[in-house]
Amino acid sequence: MILNADGSKPIYIQISEWIETEILNGNLTKDDKVYSQYKLAELFTINPATAAKGLNLLADEGILYTKRGLGKFVTENALTIIMNKRKNQTLKGLLQEVALEAERLHVTENELVKMLGQIMKERKGDL
């Protein structure tokens, strides 16, 4: 992953989202140790304090927990927390943008549902 330093999203958020994606993809599972702030800083050429901020954000959300002196680990409920968060924030936001654009283009709800169904069918064929 390459961080976007010029983007509108702070780097620590990008770090936390990268770790979330690793959990969603099954690369990190319950009780797995995640990279330390220093390893993340080295991987992404960022300040360790920025990496720590991303890790702490995930800990605050209940996605990671700390073992004193050992580092941060994935919680038992991490996957569920991330899925709910992304459904309720990310996906909902994207759908709101799609709905707004559909209104501008006079696309009906039925047309949208049909388009989404086709896209999902195509994605399943790609997997």
Q: Is the pLDDT of residue 127 over 70?
A: no
Q: Is the pLDDT of residue 124 over 90?
A: no
Provide the domain count of the chain: 2
Q: Is the pLDDT of residue 31 over 90?
A: yes
Q: Are residues 39 and 70 in the same domain?
A: yes
For 91-112, how does the pLDDT look when each residue is reduced to its tens digit (9 = 90+)?
999 999 999 999 999 999 999 9
Give the CATH number, domain containing residue 58: 1.10.10.10
Residue 6 lies in a domain: no
Q: How far is Cα of residue 22 from the mean position of the Cα atoms in its chain?
A: 8
For 40-73, how does the pLDDT look when each residue is reduced to its tens digit (9 = 90+)?
999 999 999 999 999 999 999 999 999 999 999 9
Q: What's the pLDDT band for 1 if we cut at 50, 70, 90?
A: low
> Which domain does 30 fall in, by range?
11-78
Task: Answer yes or no: are the C-beta atoms of 113 and 103 closer than 8 Å.
Answer: no
* Rounded Cα distance, 34 and 36, in Å: 6
Q: Are residues 58 and 110 in the same domain?
A: no
**DSSP H or E segment with residue 74:** strand 71-74
